[in-house]
Structure 1
């Protein structure tokens, strides 16, 4: 039996409502902070498409008020599950904006695990949105993804990532990291998100790197979802390089 749910999140953003709208209502804007690759057909009745790991999820836009409100909804699956998203934008003083997100719908039998994953995942993605608008406003990124299942649990995954970063002890916001990925320029940056044991983010002058561990119920996977702003870098080549890096980590 399906389970109805509603999830709410707020985030304060150092950006104008127009800048926030561009980030949430266009494909290139969404690609600069969210997972996968997105396409948006503007206007009420238009379609949104999210492509991730070869899977495409489509939704219909149910509200389109530029600078104020955006909503969409997927078609119900045979088991009755569906997802609806609503973004509410409210301008503040000094060019800042409050973004309110409401995600609702019907989840399947494993709804508790799904709900927890979405709640924590949104903390990472909204933190990435804030970093994008603060540090890369006016630019768009190429999304780069990699995936490795069955990594032997969160502790083992983060130990391997921490060692690769050259950091002693648990990762914390503000830590400086330097590491290499074969075929790419050396990476030097700062840990800007530390939501362990689920996610870690590293910001460099030309990228937002995101590392996410899923629970055992969701495949015990280490997932990379990066946003590369560097001009001239081939996304396909970068994706291969990161997959090789991930596959080489001493995990399960």
Structure 2
């Protein structure tokens, strides 16, 4: 049965509104995934065939799509309101994701809500530590064996993360090829893990609770980053983790 949904989040970040605006309209690869910037006017074309319904830089941006392309959703809208704080040195952001889920409402809402928290946290990490550096983006998906709620815990063990390692801890993890990576564990819950190194954000998505394989995205801000080599290395890591007995 079709039913409307609305996910609302508010947060502050220590950058001016102009930097938040740049990130949500042009710098999306730094924290989400690369996408074409919206046409800068009301009525213009937004990402994935959406329509820009509000355009007031750097304060308000909304896009709306009535042809989402997913069998479980018929309407999608993203709305951002940005206000200056502390004389423009900080920003207050209100984010509203709304629309209509057409099937499996509880599961769809649960996944969208938890993903929202992680994506917005990653946006703040990007703005605070890396923006406006150019990014090399890589996205990977685990094999069928990672399509389970236990997949994220398996990835954590492969990384060498202690069970009691919590967000904010400095850690050394085992990356591709057994390489040690020094990082800050910037996010951790039963669904997602976020690592921040000196030059990258590495995100682990435990999507088995929603019937999907584990995913990894790497947002690398090093000037010599190689998406192909990085993708192959992390894909090999993923495949090895989930091919083990």
Please say whether Structure 1 and Structure 2 have the same fold, judged by a TM-score greater than 0.5.
yes
Secondary structure (helix, strand or coil) at the match of 1:39 reads coil
Unmatched 5+ stretches in structure 1:
50-56
Structure 2 equivalent of residue 46 of structure 1: 44
Distance 2:112 2:159 in 1: 27
Secondary structure (helix, strand or coil) at the match of 1:137 reads coil
Greater strand fraction, Structure 1 or Structure 2: 1
Unmatched 5+ stretches in structure 2:
none
Cα distance per residue 1:206-247 (max 9 Å; x no partner): 00110011144432x211122110111121221122111111
Q: 1:103 aligns with which of 97, 100, 107?
A: 97
Secondary structure (helix, strand or coil) at the match of 1:81 reads strand
Distance 1:217 1:189 in 2: 28
Q: 2:28 aligns with which of 12, 27, 30?
A: 30
- Counterparts in 2 of 1:76 and 1:159: CA distance versus 1, 3 Å: closer
Q: Is the 8 A contact 1:198 1:214 kept in 2?
A: yes
CA offset at residue 185 of structure 1? 7.0
Task: Provide TM-score, normalisation by structure 2.
Answer: 0.89
- Counterparts in 2 of 1:77 and 1:38: CA distance versus 1, 3 Å: closer
Task: Provide TM-score, normalisation by structure 1.
Answer: 0.86
Structure 2 equivalent of residue 126 of structure 1: 120
Q: Is the 8 A contact 1:165 1:178 kept in 2?
A: yes
CA offset at residue 46 of structure 1? 2.5
Structure 1 equivalent of residue 17 of structure 2: 17
1:86 aligns with 2:79: yes
What root-mean-square deviation, in Å, do the aligned CA atoms of Structure 1 and Structure 2 show? Answer: 2.2
Give runs of aligned pairs for residues 1-252 of structure 1, distance below 5 A.
1-26=1-26, 29-34=27-32, 36-43=33-40, 44-49=42-47, 57-76=48-67, 81-93=74-86, 95-148=89-142, 149-151=144-146, 153-155=148-150, 157-173=151-167, 174-182=169-177, 186-194=180-188, 196-219=189-212, 221-250=213-242
Q: Is the 8 A contact 2:3 2:101 kept in 1?
A: yes
Q: Is the 8 A contact 2:152 2:204 kept in 1?
A: no
- Counterparts in 2 of 1:115 and 1:152: CA distance versus 1, 3 Å: closer
Distance 2:133 2:68 in 1: 36
- Counterparts in 2 of 1:18 and 1:185: CA distance versus 1, 3 Å: farther
Count of aligned positions = 238
CA offset at residue 75 of structure 1? 2.4
